[in-house]
């Protein structure tokens, strides 16, 4: 094949049709396979609204309103733009065609598009600083000004500059393609769908005659979703759960959505087959439970969620693990006794007690312990800042002592220590930490509160008994769904398989996961989560599905998130980069709202505080959206307080989000017309049109002031890479960052700056 010639109306379809944006959609994949010659076109063939017409030397692609004046011609003799992976090939095609429209419509070019002469354009399909230095050169050829013939020729695609401005493309292939265009358009006119000379169709055409709308309404029911799902999503959603089924993917790929749809699909199938099916859907916190319940009410036409398990053959319970466990614990625990770990108040209370427990233990037993402790740990305790020691202790207690060791010292000693946390070298080091934990636990008991792990561990003890084994067949569930598995610790995960009815069957548990959203090093390497979730006795097959198409965020935002996760993967050997392979899904119209992330420098914290709301206002105005669609994420607690106080003085009150995934607060902000302000810990599980990250500067992200040891620096760096990834990926169209001019932008964002994924913005009050 010597050329591919795509006329204007076909280009419009390719860049506007949702189904052409990702290779996870049938048409997107077919399009890619055709242009990269993996699928040979031997007769006129439709892919959705595009008609491909073969020619002895090339291929024409014609859309619904053929135009013979404007076409994009790819000279495959002088270059081969589609020699990469299928995802990259689609990115290249989309990018050059979007530039083509800009050239014809005289629109302004982006940073990755340069006009090097009046007729020559260079496009970088990937980010300028990304690993791929690929550049495509396009020549504009206006054959006959009178007839408005205005074609574009892609004749060079390489990683070097080539001949630059003086380079002249050979026009032999171009002339060949251009001369045959009229004939191809004539053929297309005779290949009317449904007519007697109907062309061949590939990829499930009937429903693709009409493209789905670009903007999906917020509340669409279960049946309507089929129209929008990718092939991978469909495969996951429309199948019965018959054993462990894991759904992985980066933020915004639709994991929660697909888990919900699959849950309803399974219930509907049971209803039709008159089979009993009781489902439990487990969420991480009370706030996310409320959000999921709201979503299910929209999706679920049968209202399974309102059915009673005792009186209906099918039912759905949405709950947190904590609530379910508490209902099973024989002692009975009231709501008020819970310490919700996703809530600001709980975190502050736990921190207060850990601080006290640490000071107390240090006074009481440090001197007597000292000769037994490793020199690294002693020097760490003696030199490090107290607040960071307490942060690290909190992580150790939650993730290791409670989360993995079941509060048992012997077990704790046998567990490998977290790589990026306290430098615990010996059993005595762990003994000292365990003393602090005991002190902390005493305080919790004295106020009569239980954290999730207390309840989980008590429940675990009660589930592994003859009583539960007998009750399980009636009180257990046919299917278990677990969202955000990465947020649960190993103890919690090991409760889950006890919830199923029949322990002799493969555990029917469907779960979603994105490890990079778990905060800090949790020692979750390899298939650790699967092993925690699935009973040891199960040696069967775990179904794995991975989502690649990011729906929530624009390509610019995904690229920024990728720079952050890649930097983390370079720094920490156990950090898995979820964005290694992604497909973008934004159509050209959606991309119009998107913008390259910007950072603003303000002189000092006072100016930052004042600037936060102003930048949010600017963003809301630019996006033409309501204030509640913008989240201000403050990267320190002090900043959050200052911003909130300042906004109040200025009579622009903000809605403060204090629980992770709290949709109620977001809804309240919508009705009162306020911005949301929060900290990175609580922004997960939500999405906004724009996000303003405040205080992302050196010394704050991660905090470094006074830190003495590399252990604490690593710990905080890990934590803040997670925070940045989660906060950035909440945004759909725009991300703005504010940092201090004195300190400069955070080092975690330095690769993004080098690679020009963030631009410096100017702001005048």
Ligand X SMILES: Nc1ncnc2c1ncn2[C@@H]1O[C@H](COP(=O)(O)OP(=O)(O)OP(=O)(O)O)[C@@H](O)[C@H]1O
Using the structure block, give the residue that is written with the tokens 């009180």. Answer: 475
Least distance to ligand X from the beta carbon of 288, Å? Answer: 9
Q: Which of 14, 91, 229, 296 binds ligand X (CB under 6 A)?
A: 229
CA angle 316, 317, 323 (to 5 degrees): 170
Q: Which is nearer to ligand X, 404 or 486 (CB)?
A: 486
User: Do 759 and 560 contact (CB within 8 A), yes or no?
Assistant: no
Nearer to ligand X, 230 or 559 (CB): 230
Integer Cα distance of 317 and 327 in angstroms? 13
By CB under 6 A, tell whether 45 contacts ligand X: no
Between strands 731-740 and 688-694, the pairing is parallel
Q: Is 250 annotated as a binding residue?
A: yes
SS3 50: strand
Contact 128, 145 (CB under 8 A): no
Q: Which is nearer to ligand X, 511 or 551 (CB)?
A: 551
CB of 100 or CB of 547, closer to ligand X: 547
- Least distance to ligand X from the beta carbon of 326, Å? 25
Residue 44 sits in the site that holds ligand X (CB under 6 A): no
Cα-based distances in Å from 221 to 271, 305, 343: 18, 15, 31
CA 657 to centroid of chain Cα atoms: 20
Q: Which x/- pattern over 198-217 shows residues binding ligand X (rule: CB under 6 A)?
A: ------------------x-
3-state class of 328 per DSSP?
Answer: helix
By CB under 6 A, residue 254 contacts ligand X: yes
Minimum distance of ligand X from residue 545's CB (angstroms):
12
d(C-alpha 70, C-alpha 11), whole Å: 10
According to the binding rule CB under 6 A, does residue 723 interact with ligand X?
A: no
Applying CB under 6 A, among 28, 44, 169, 249 the residue interacting with ligand X is 249
3-state secondary structure 653-668: CCEECCECCCHHHHHH
Is residue 697 helix, strand or coil? strand
Determine whether the annotation assigns residue 255 to a binding site: yes
Interaction of residue 253 with ligand X, rule CB under 6 A: yes
Which of 72, 155, 228, 437 binds ligand X (CB under 6 A)? It is 228
Q: How far is the CB of 279 from ligand X (least distance, A)?
A: 18
Question: Between 29 and 191, whose beta carbon lies closer to ligand X?
Answer: 29
Q: Is 270 annotated as a binding residue?
A: no
Contact between 478 and ligand X per CB under 6 A: no
349 sits in which H/E element: helix 344-369
Residue 158 marked in a binding site:
no
Contacts of 550 (CB under 8 A, 6+ apart): 250, 251, 252, 253, 558, 582, 583, 584, 585
Site for ligand X in 667-696 (CB under 6 A): 685, 687
Segment near ligand X (CB under 6 A); pick from 70-78, 249-257, 354-362, 429-437 = 249-257
Considering the complex, state which of residue 190 and residue 215 has its C-beta at the smaller distance from ligand X.
215
Q: Which stretch binds ligand X (CB under 6 A): 72-80, 252-260, 555-563, 639-647?
A: 252-260
Query: Which two structure tokens, joined as six digits, stand for 737?
Result: 């960052």
C-beta of 230 vs 577, nearer to ligand X: 230
**Which range of residues in 244-252, 265-273, 347-355, 501-509 is near ligand X by CB under 6 A?**
244-252
Answer yes or no whether residue 520 interacts with ligand X by CB under 6 A.
no
Q: Which of 548, 552, 658, 674 binds ligand X (CB under 6 A)?
A: 552
Triad 291, 402, 530: Cα angle to 5°: 65
514 is a site residue for ligand X (CB under 6 A): yes
Q: Is 233 in the site for ligand X (CB under 6 A)?
A: yes
Which residues contact residue 120 at a Cβ distance below 8 angstroms, ignoring those fewer than 6 apart? 137, 138, 139, 140, 165, 167
- In the complex with ligand X, the residue whose CB is nearer, 206 or 218, is 218
> Is residue 195 a known part of a binding site?
no
Q: Which of 571, 327, 569 is nearest to 458 (CA)?
A: 327
CA distance 606 to 740: 10
Applying CB under 6 A, the residues found at the interface with ligand X are: 216, 228-230, 233, 249, 251-257, 514, 551-552, 685, 687, 729
Which residue ranges are tagged as binding site for ATP? Answer: 249-256
């Amino acid at each position: 094949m010597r050329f591919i010639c795509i006329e204007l109306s076909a280009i419009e379809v390719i860049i506007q049709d949702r189904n052409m944006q990702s290779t996870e959609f049938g048409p997107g994949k077919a399009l890619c396979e055709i242009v990269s010659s993996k699928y040979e076109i031997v007769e006129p063939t439709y892919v959705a609204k595009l008609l491909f017409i073969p020619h002895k030397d090339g291929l024409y692609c014609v859309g619904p309103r053929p135009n013979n004046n404007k076409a994009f011609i790819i000279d495959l003799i002088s270059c081969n733009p589609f020699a990469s992976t299928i995802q990259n090939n689609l990115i290249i095609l989309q990018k050059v065609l979007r530039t083509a429209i800009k050239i014809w419509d005289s629109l302004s070019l982006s940073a990755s598009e340069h006009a090097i002469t009046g007729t020559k354009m260079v496009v970088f399909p990937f980010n300028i600083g990304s690993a791929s230095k690929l550049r495509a050169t396009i020549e504009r050829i206006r054959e006959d000004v009178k007839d408005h013939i205005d074609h574009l020729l892609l004749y060079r695609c390489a990683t070097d500059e080539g001949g630059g401005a003086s380079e002249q493309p050979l026009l032999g292939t171009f002339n060949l393609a251009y001369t045959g265009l009229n004939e191809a358009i004539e053929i297309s006119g005779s290949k009317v769908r449904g007519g007697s000379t109907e062309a061949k169709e590939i990829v499930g055409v009937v429903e693709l005659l009409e493209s789905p709308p670009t903007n999906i309404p917020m509340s669409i029911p279960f049946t309507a979703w089929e129209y929008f799902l990718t092939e991978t999503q469909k495969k996951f959603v429309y199948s019965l759960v018959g054993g462990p089924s894991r759904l992985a993917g980066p933020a915004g790929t639709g994991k929660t959505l697909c888990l919900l749809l699959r849950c309803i699909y399974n219930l509907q199938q049971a209803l039709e087959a008159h089979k009993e099916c009781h489902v439990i859907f487990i969420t991480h916190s009370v706030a996310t439970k409320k959000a999921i319940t709201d979503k299910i009410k929209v999706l679920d036409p049968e209202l399974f969620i309102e059915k009673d398990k005792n009186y209906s053959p099918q039912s759905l319970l949405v709950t947190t693990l904590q609530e379910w466990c508490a209902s099973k614990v024989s002692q009975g625990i009231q709501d008020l006794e819970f310490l919700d770990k996703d809530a600001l108040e709980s975190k502050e209370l736990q921190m207060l007690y850990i601080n006290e427990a640490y000071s107390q233990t240090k006074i009481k037993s440090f001197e007597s312990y000292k000769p037994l402790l490793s020199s690294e740990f002693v020097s760490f305790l003696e030199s490090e800042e107290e607040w960071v020691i307490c942060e690290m202790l909190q992580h150790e207690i939650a993730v290791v002592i409670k989360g993995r060791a079941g509060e048992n010292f012997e077990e704790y000693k046998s567990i490998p220590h977290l790589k990026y946390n306290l430098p615990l070298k010996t059993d005595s080091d762990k003994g000292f930490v365990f003393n602090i934990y005991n002190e902390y636990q005493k305080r919790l008991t004295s106020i009569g509160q239980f954290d999730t792990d207390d309840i989980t561990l008590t429940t675990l003890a009660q589930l592994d008994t003859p009583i539960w084994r007998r009750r399980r067949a009636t009180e257990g569930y046919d299917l278990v769904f677990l969202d955000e598995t990465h947020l649960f610790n190993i103890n919690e995960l090991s409760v889950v398989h006890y919830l199923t009815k029949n322990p002799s069957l493969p555990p029917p548990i469907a779960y979603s996961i994105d490890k990079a959203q778990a905060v800090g090093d949790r020692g979750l390497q390899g298939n650790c989560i699967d092993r925690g979730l699935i009973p040891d006795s199960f040696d069967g097959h775990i179904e794995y599905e991975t989502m690649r198409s990011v729906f929530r965020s624009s390509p610019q935002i995904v690229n920024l998130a990728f720079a952050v996760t890649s930097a983390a993967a370079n720094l920490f050997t156990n950090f898995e980069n979820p964005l290694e392979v992604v497909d973008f899904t934004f159509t050209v119209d959606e991309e119009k709202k998107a913008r390259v992330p910007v950072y603003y420098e303000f002189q000092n914290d006072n100016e930052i505080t004042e600037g936060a709301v102003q930048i949010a206002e600017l963003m809301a105005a630019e996006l033409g959206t309501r204030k509640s669609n913008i989240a201000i994420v403050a990267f320190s607690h002090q900043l959050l307080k200052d911003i909130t106080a300042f906004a109040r003085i200025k009579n622009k009150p903000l809605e403060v989000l204090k629980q992770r995934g709290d949709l109620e607060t977001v809804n309240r902000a919508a009705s009162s017309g306020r911005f949301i302000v929060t900290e990175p810990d609580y922004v997960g599980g939500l999405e906004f049109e724009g996000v303003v990250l405040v205080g992302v500067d050196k010394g704050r992200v991660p905090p470094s002031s006074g830190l003495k040891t590399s252990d604490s620096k690593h710990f905080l760096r890990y934590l803040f890479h997670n925070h940045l990834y989660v906060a950035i990926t909440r945004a759909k169209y725009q991300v703005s960052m504010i940092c201090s001019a004195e300190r400069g932008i955070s080092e975690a964002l330095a690769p993004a700056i080098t690679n020009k994924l963030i631009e410096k913005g100017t702001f005048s009050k």
